[in-house]
A and B are shown apart, each in its own frame.
Chain A
Amino acid sequence: DQQVKQNSPSLSVQEGRISILNCDYTNSMFDYFLWYKKYPAEGPTFLISISSIKDKNEDGRFTVFLNKSAKHLSLHIVPSQPGDSAVYFCAASENRGSYQLTFGKGTKLSVIP
């Protein structure tokens, strides 16, 4: 049973436009959410996170939005750059001190120059 779902396996966006990556979750106990970015042949790297007490967190070109009632979060990248081409994983935990992160399957973003 997938508790964290990334329903789009891939996404293509023109350079300079907005990229929107979506993530849905089913476990209402999740209260901390993260996005990781992964390049081929490398491990994932932490990108941005959000606590359930917020509905938005921004870091430069990256913004994560959380809609708790819909159990949905999204990552916006504006403007998209070719170097953003990677696989993006959504992850969730039941509390910030938890050792258990539940990951989605990932969405492959391709930014076309």
Chain B
Amino acid sequence: SQTIHQWPATLVQPVGSPLSLECTVEGTSNPNLYWYRQAAGRGLQLLFYSVGIGQISSEVPQNLSASRPQDRQFILSSKKLLLSDSGFYLCAWSGGQLNEKLFFGSGTQLSVL
């Protein structure tokens, strides 16, 4: 069966520090991978998605970047965090044509202070 791992679960970082969140998927090959963010009082917002190694699409301009160095690994990064980067970050995957049926990781609560 497929599983998705996301870490860390919580993270407190100072403004201006770098960020690296990692997500890996097991039990499937060539998944579509996604990074979502839920800011306080808001819905889930798609940040990035990837349909293959090295292929990244960004949905909103921001202070963050994503990379997919391996088929089942998706990384969310920032060189310098802003206060507005605080939020709940979720990695997700989907397969085949049913891109809307997402399987989410457990999320990372990021607090930028």
Contacts and interface: CB of A to CB of B under 8 A. Distances in A.
Interface of A: 2, 4, 6, 32, 34, 36, 41-46, 49, 89, 91, 93, 96-106
Contacts of A96: 97-100
A2 B13 CA distance: 30
Q: Is the interface of A mostly helix, strand, loop or mixed?
A: loop
24 contacts: A2-B43, A4-B43, A6-B43, A32-B100, A34-B100, A41-B107, A43-B90, A43-B105, A43-B106, A43-B107, A44-B44, A45-B104, A46-B101, A49-B101, A89-B43, A91-B44, A96-B97, A96-B98, A97-B97, A99-B32, A99-B57, A99-B99, A103-B44, A105-B43
The 5 closest A-B pairs by CB, nearest first: A43-B104, A103-B43, A103-B44, A105-B43, A93-B100
Contacts of A98: 99-100
A33 to B, nearest CB: 9
Nearest to B9: A41
B41 interface: yes
Contacts of B103: 45-46
B102 interface: yes
Interface size band for B: 20 to 34
B112 interface: no
A49 B103 CA distance: 14
Contact of B42 (A36, A49, A105): A105
B93 to A, nearest CB: 11
B30 to A, nearest CB: 14
Given A42-B107, A45-B104, A105-B42, 5 more contacts: A96-B99, A99-B34, A99-B57, A102-B43, A103-B45
